Amino acid sequence: MSSILDSLPALYRGLFPSFFQSPIPSETKATCSACAMCESANPLRIDSVDGVNRFFRPDTKCCTYHPRLPNYLVGAILSDEEAGMAEGRRRIQAKIARGASVNPQWIKAPTRYNLLYMNARQAFGRSESLRCPYYEPNGGLCTIWRYREAVCSTYFCKYVAGADGRKFWMTLKTWLTLAEIQLSRYALLQLLPDYVLLGKDKADNQSGPLTVEDLDDQRLPEKDYAELWHPWVGREEEFYRRSYDVVRALSSEEFENLLGIDGIIELSVLKRLHGNAVTASLPKTLKLNPSATIQWLPDGSVAMASYSELDAVALPGEAYSLLVEFTGKEPVETVRQRLRDEKQADLHDDILVELFRHRILIDAAKPQQ
Residues 174 and 267: their CA atoms lie apart, in Å, by 10
pLDDT digits (tens, 9 = 90+) for 136-191: 998 889 999 999 999 999 999 999 999 999 999 999 999 999 999 999 999 999 99
Mean pLDDT of 96-124: 95
Residues 72 and 113: their CA atoms lie apart, in Å, by 23
DSSP 8-state symbol, 5: G
Name the percent of the chain lying above pLDDT 90.
Answer: 82
Residues of the chain with CATH 3.90.930: 286-363
Q: Backbone dihedral region of 61: left (phi > 0), alpha (psi from -120 to 50 degrees) or beta?
A: left
Residues 317 and 338: their CA atoms lie apart, in Å, by 19
Q: Which of 154, 102, 176 is nearest to 133 (CA)?
A: 102
Residues 302 and 364: their CA atoms lie apart, in Å, by 23
217 pLDDT more than 60: yes
Per DSSP, helices labelled H in 25-133 are 71-79, 86-98, 111-119
Q: pLDDT band for 329, please (50, 70, 90 cuts).
A: very high
pLDDT at 207: 65
pLDDT digits (tens, 9 = 90+) for 47-62: 555 555 678 999 999 9
Q: At what angle do helices 162-191 and 71-79 cross, to 10 degrees?
A: 80
Per DSSP, helices labelled H in 192-323 are 193-197, 212-215, 222-229, 236-248, 252-278, 317-323
Selected from 3.30.9, 2.40.10, 3.90.930, 3.30.1660, the CATH number assigned to the domain covering 286-363 reads: 3.90.930
Residues 339 and 351: their CA atoms lie apart, in Å, by 14
User: 202: burial class by Cβ within 10 Å (0-12, 13-18, 19+)?
Assistant: exposed
66 pLDDT more than 70: yes
Pairing of strands 135-136, 23-24: unpaired
Residues whose CB falls within 8 Å of the CB of residue 341, separated by 6 or more in sequence, listed in order? none
pLDDT at 1: 81
> Looking at per-residue confidence, does 310 or 205 come out higher?
310
The number of CA neighbours under 13 Å toward the Cβ of 264 is: 6
Residues 227 and 43: their CA atoms lie apart, in Å, by 56
Name the percent of the chain lying above pLDDT 70.
Answer: 95
Residues 163 and 295: their CA atoms lie apart, in Å, by 20
- Average pLDDT over the chain, rounded to an integer: 93
Quick count: other Cβ atoms within 10 Å of Cβ 260?
Answer: 11
Side chain identity at residue 249, one-letter code: A
Select the highest-mean-pLDDT range: 86-90, 122-126, 203-207: 86-90
Mean pLDDT of 96-115: 96
- Cα-Cα-Cα-Cα dihedral sign, residues 113, 119, 125, 127: negative
The number of CA neighbours under 13 Å toward the Cβ of 47 is: 18
pLDDT at 140: 83
Residues 302 and 319: their CA atoms lie apart, in Å, by 8
CB of 302 closer than 8 Å to CB of 315 = yes
332 pLDDT more than 70: yes
Q: Which of 287, 266, 54 is nearest to 176 (CA)?
A: 266
39 pLDDT more than 90: no
Side chain identity at residue 166, one-letter code: R
Asked whether the whole model's pTM tops 0.95, one would answer no
pLDDT at 43: 59
Q: Which helix (H) or strand (E) holds 315?
A: strand 313-315
